[in-house]
Amino acid sequence: MPRTAHTSVPILPVLAERWSPRSFDPETVLTPADLASAFEAARWTPSSNNTQPWRFIAGFRGDATFQTIVDNLMGFNQVWAPGASALVLCVAQKFEPNGEPIAYAMYDLGQAVAHFSIQAHSQGLSVHQMAGIERDALTHAFNLPSGFEAAVVAAVGRLGDADALPEQLAEREKAPRVRHDFEEIVRFEGYAAD
Amino acid sequence: MPRTAHTSVPILPVLAERWSPRSFDPETVLTPADLASAFEAARWTPSSNNTQPWRFIAGFRGDATFQTIVDNLMGFNQVWAPGASALVLCVAQKFEPNGEPIAYAMYDLGQAVAHFSIQAHSQGLSVHQMAGIERDALTHAFNLPSGFEAAVVAAVGRLGDADALPEQLAEREKAPRVRHDFEEIVRFEGYAAD
């Protein structure tokens, strides 16, 4: 079921149509080649001083990487995310090898996953990002180098049937998409004095 | 001068062609209406628990908001950024009103600015994000509500003549665009044991 955003002004279809489902088609099989363009889009994301503080570890349903990620999802993410075709651990480089913090690591990783998601959506795939993950356990399980930390997991696949989800999740899947009003997030001068 | 990324596999043209110039056309005048779609794209960005921890304060060349932002740019950002048509202060909500941290505020703001930039690029505008800003001074200057912090400034305008920049910046503007190798950032299993 498409769930195009009701925008107040037109935006690129790929941005209006992108949303984060929990229902994935359990028959869809993806391979690394299917995600190559999405990773390439992430690779060309801008970052502060071109630090590129992002790394990705992709598992595909049935392989050991996928299972390790599933094992470290929190709460109801363990219910729906195993139905995705791929789970991608998104890693932030938070410190340089000399120990200096990379202040914009999470900001820049967010940008990179946005580019990844937009490219994937343009190829008929859906992406749902999860912060509800066991970050420390994943950092250890994949033996991330010093300074690198598990940050987010992105589930990737083809949109499935919302009604195949457990009832509570199916309701959320079909609820209207909502955002703050435009005027709440955009202004042209500072906030009024208290 | 277009500077399309040399991608190893095809990606959306809007993603391949997007880059972050410092040369902006000084004749181009933008208004809030010109940025409406870019802000709308940001508005529909996904975020952790739909917290939407982003706010934007846009100034246009010649107005007081623009000047306040210029006054709080660091180093050589003060040299080139005043040539942009608009400067957008991107604000992260780092704490809920009850003081609870919003852990993914910077990550989600990064996603929103990515969506903003991609939409703007699709309309013939260029965006260059800057972390080199006086964050505390901007947070105070615009009287941001408690829990909100200045994070990044995005310069927006039409691409200008690289050779109009000071020599050192002009050289950087024309240097090849580089990124880590694909294999360095994407893998399918954990890192080897030390």
Is the residue at B44 inside a domain? yes
**Cα torsion A101, A107, A111, A116: sign:** positive
Q: Do A107 and B103 touch (CB under 8 A)?
A: no
Q: How far out from the chain centre does Cα B164 lie?
A: 22
Write the pLDDT tens digit of every residue in B171-185.
Answer: 999 999 999 999 999
Predicted local distance difference test score (pLDDT) of residue B3: 86
Assess A74–B contact: CB distance below 8 Å, yes or no.
no
| B10 closest CB neighbour out of A16, A37, A55 | A37
Could you tell me what percent of chain A has a pLDDT over 70?
98
Is the residue at B25 inside a domain? no
Q: CA distances (Å), B28 to each of A61, A105, B20, B159, in order? A: 50, 33, 17, 9
DSSP string, B124-135: T-EEEEE--B-H
Mean pLDDT within A152-164: 97
Predicted local distance difference test score (pLDDT) of residue B1: 57
Hey, which residues 107-126 in chain A have their CB within 8 Å of chain B?
107-111, 113-115, 117-119, 122
Assess A88–B contact: CB distance below 8 Å, yes or no.
no
Q: Using 50, 70 and 90 to split pLDDT, how confident is the model at B193?
A: confident
Tokens of B31: 């208004």
Q: Do B14 and A12 touch (CB under 8 A)?
A: yes
Q: Using 50, 70 and 90 to split pLDDT, how confident is the model at A189?
A: very high
Predicted local distance difference test score (pLDDT) of residue A2: 66
Assess A9–B contact: CB distance below 8 Å, yes or no.
yes
Q: Are B156 and B35 contacting, i.e. CB atoms less than 8 angstroms apart?
A: yes
Is the residue at B118 inside a domain? yes
Q: What residues of B are in contact with residue A55 (Cβ under 8 Å)?
A: 184-187
Mean pLDDT within A85-104: 98
pLDDT higher than threshold 60 for residue A152: yes
Strand positions, DSSP E, chain A: 54-60, 86-93, 126-130, 148-157, 186-187
Is the residue at B184 inside a domain? no
The complex scores an ipTM of: 0.98
CA distance A106 to chain B (A): 5
Residues in Cβ contact with A58 at an 8 Å cutoff, skipping those fewer than 6 apart: A32, A35, A39, A65, A86, A87, A88, A89, B186, B187, B188
pLDDT higher than threshold 80 for residue B194: no
Tokens of A60: 């595909």
- Spatial CA neighbour of B42 closest among B120, B94, B106: B120
Q: CA distances (Å), B100 to each of A132, A141, B147, in order? A: 17, 29, 9
Q: CATH number, domain at A162?
A: 3.40.109.10
H-assigned helices in A45-146: 64-71, 77-80, 105-122, 135-141
Beta bridge partner(s), residue B157: B126
Is the residue at B99 inside a domain? yes
Q: How far apart are alpha carbons A126 and A137 in whole angstroms?
A: 26
Range of the domain at A102: 27-180
Is the residue at B127 inside a domain? yes
Tokens of B35: 């940025």
Predicted local distance difference test score (pLDDT) of residue A149: 98
Is the residue at A133 inside a domain? yes
Q: Do B39 and A108 touch (CB under 8 A)?
A: no
Predicted local distance difference test score (pLDDT) of residue A1: 57
Is the residue at B135 inside a domain? yes
End-to-end Cα, chain A, rounded Å: 45
**Summary mean pLDDT of chain A:** 97
Q: Is B177 helix (H, G, I), strand (E, B) or coil?
A: coil
Number of domains making up chain B: 1
